[in-house]
Amino acid sequence: MLRFGIVGFGLHAVKRMMPAFTASEKCTVTALARRDAVKAAGSARQFNIPHAFTSVEELCRHPEVDAVFVTSPNFLHLADVLTAVAAGKPVLCEKPMGMNAGECKQMVEAARKANVVLGVAHVFRFEDGTARFREQLAADMVGRPVFARSEFCFQAGKEHPRKWIKDRSMAGAGPLFDIGVHCIDTLRYILQDEVTRVSARAVMDRPPSTVELSCAMVMEFARGTLASVLVSYTAEYRTPLEIVAQRGVMRAEDALTVEHPISIEVRRPGAPVETETVSNHLAYIRQVDAFADAVERGSPFPCSGEDGWQNQEILDSALRSMQSGRTEDVPQVR
- In this predicted structure, which of 27-41, 150-164, 177-191 has the lowest mean pLDDT? 150-164
pLDDT of residue 13: 86
Instruction: Answer yes or no: is pLDDT of 261 > 80.
Output: yes
CA atoms within 13 A on the CB side of 28: 9
More confident residue, 162 or 37: 37
**Domain locations along the chain:** 2-122+285-303, 124-280+313-329
Summarised one tens digit per residue, pLDDT across range 207-253 is 888 899 999 999 999 999 999 999 999 999 999 999 999 999 999 99
Query: For 265-274, what is the mean pLDDT?
Result: 92
Which helix or strand (DSSP H or E) is residue 121 part of? strand 118-121
Amino acid at 28: T
Q: How confident is the model at residue 192 (pLDDT cuts 50, 70, 90)?
A: very high
Q: Which of 75, 133, 80 is nearest to 111 (CA)?
A: 80
CATH placement of domain 124-280+313-329: 3.30.360.10
Instruction: Answer yes or no: is pLDDT of 280 > 90.
Output: yes
Query: For 5-29, what is the mean pLDDT?
Result: 93
Q: How confident is the model at residue 161 (pLDDT cuts 50, 70, 90)?
A: confident
What's the Cα-to-Cα distance from 312 to each of 24, 101, 218, 317, rounded to whole Å? 29, 5, 16, 8
What's the Cα-to-Cα distance from 258 to each of 237, 261, 282, 302, rounded to whole Å? 13, 7, 8, 18
Angle of helix 77-86 relative to helix 101-114, nearest 10 degrees? 10
Instruction: Answer yes or no: is pLDDT of 159 > 90.
Output: no
CB atoms within 10 A of CB 136: 20
Contact 7, 56 (CB under 8 A): yes
pTM over 0.75: yes
Summarised one tens digit per residue, pLDDT across range 57-99 is 999 999 999 999 999 999 999 999 999 999 999 999 999 999 9
Convert 206-231 into a string of H (helix), E (strand) and C (coil).
Answer: CCCCCCEEEEEEEEEECCCCEEEEEE
Tell me how far apart the alpha carbons of residues 128 and 130 are, in angstroms, rounded to a whole number. Answer: 6
CATH placement of domain 2-122+285-303: 3.40.50.720
